[in-house]
């Protein structure tokens, strides 16, 4: 088998592979920078909770559409995710619970409710599609939605880059100068939710957060500046999407899990060979002379 047949023919010859590749690339450039900020805020597990919180809304969209309508399920997931984010913020401010504890509580209830709704009205195949995604079946309408979310994310990050970064590193300073920290925090949670909805369109509720956290974790091992973190994370997500699709095509694996496992493999390799990895720490460094 030639290199063309191995690496390019699946993309060139099949329209569903081209749509899947475009969807993963759009997800990479939108979700990966959000994942970097999520990790800098030490909210990675909150992102995982939010990914599951969209499930009830997606299940309601499934019922309204009478089947797997990705735009309708995405709209339902967006409403559910934003509702959980707002409720968690309200609970954390009205009680002694931390925001992460509120997210964990709501996410468990949301996940159980969503699985129950889909299992009552749909088949086991429908449930698997909701949980693990249908990236190879993504249509033009869903593709436009994913691309639109990526565009909106990049534009928002460009416009409010400085206050978002300030709120990420020193929220106390932003409050002291009247920088409306809670407003930017809410805006950031909105970006998280819409990118999870985009990930849901392609990777399902259980895998969508993987394109946020794994590339961001790899970026932290290779880069030191914030623009560098964004660039490395987006590149890792894009490479994971392409390699995962090619591997799944040739070996017959499920595409969504293969993409996430590819990102996980890059992460494991980076743990060893990256500048901040384990092997570099074992190599003795010469002391500074002078």
Low-confidence winner among 6-20, 145-159, 187-201 (lowest mean pLDDT): 187-201
pLDDT tens digits for 248-270? 999 988 888 899 999 999 999 99
- The single-letter DSSP state of residue 199 is H
pLDDT at 5 (0 to 100): 86
92 or 263: whose pLDDT is higher? 263
Structural domains for the chain: 3-282 (1.10.3470.10)
Contact 263, 214 (CB under 8 A): yes
Band of pLDDT at residue 2, cut at 50, 70 and 90 = confident
Mean pLDDT taken over the chain: 82
The yes-or-no verdict on residue 239 having pLDDT over 70 is: yes
pLDDT tens digits for 125-162? 666 666 667 788 888 888 888 899 999 999 999 998 88
Long-range residue pairs from 241-250, CB within 8 A, at least 24 positions apart, any chain: 241/21, 241/24, 241/25, 241/27, 241/28, 241/211, 242/21, 242/24, 242/25, 244/24, 245/10, 245/11, 245/17, 245/20, 245/21, 245/24, 245/135, 246/6, 246/7, 246/10, 249/10, 249/17, 250/6, 250/10
pLDDT at 289 (0 to 100): 47
Determine what percent of the chain is predicted with pLDDT higher than 90: 30
pLDDT at 202 (0 to 100): 77
142 or 52: whose pLDDT is higher? 142
Band of pLDDT at residue 33, cut at 50, 70 and 90 = very high
């Amino acid at each position: 088998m030639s290199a063309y047949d191995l690496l390019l023919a699946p993309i060139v010859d099949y329209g569903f592979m081209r749509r899947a590749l475009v969807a993963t690339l759009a997800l990479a450039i939108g979700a990966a920078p959000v994942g970097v900020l999520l990790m800098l805020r030490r909210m990675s597990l909150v992102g995982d909770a939010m990914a599951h919180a969209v499930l009830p809304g997606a299940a309601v969209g499934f019922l309204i559409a009478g089947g797997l309508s990705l735009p309708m399920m995405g709209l339902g997931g967006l409403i559910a995710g934003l509702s959980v984010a707002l409720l968690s913020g309200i609970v954390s401010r009205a009680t002694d619970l931390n925001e992460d504890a509120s997210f964990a509580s709501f996410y468990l209830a949301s996940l159980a409710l969503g699985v129950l709704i889909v299992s009552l009205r749909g088949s086991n195949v429908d449930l698997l599609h909701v949980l693990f995604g249908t990236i190879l079946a993504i249509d033009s309408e869903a593709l436009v939605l994913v691309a639109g979310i990526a565009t909106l994310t990049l534009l928002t990050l460009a416009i409010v880059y400085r206050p978002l970064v300030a709120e990420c590193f020193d929220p106390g300073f932003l409050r002291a100068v009247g920088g409306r920290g809670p407003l930017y925090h809410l805006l950031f949670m909105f970006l998280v939710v819409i990118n999870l909805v985009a990930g849901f369109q392609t990777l399902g509720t259980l895998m969508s957060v993987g394109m946020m956290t794994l590339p961001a974790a790899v970026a932290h091992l290779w880069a030191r500046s914030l623009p560098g973190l964004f660039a490395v994370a987006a590149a890792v997500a894009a490479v994971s999407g392409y390699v995962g699709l090619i591997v799944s095509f040739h070996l017959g694996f499920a595409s969504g899990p293969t993409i996430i496992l590819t990102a996980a493999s890059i992460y494991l390799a980076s743990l060893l060979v990256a500048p901040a990895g384990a092997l570099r720490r074992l190599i003795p460094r010469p002391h500074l002379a002078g």
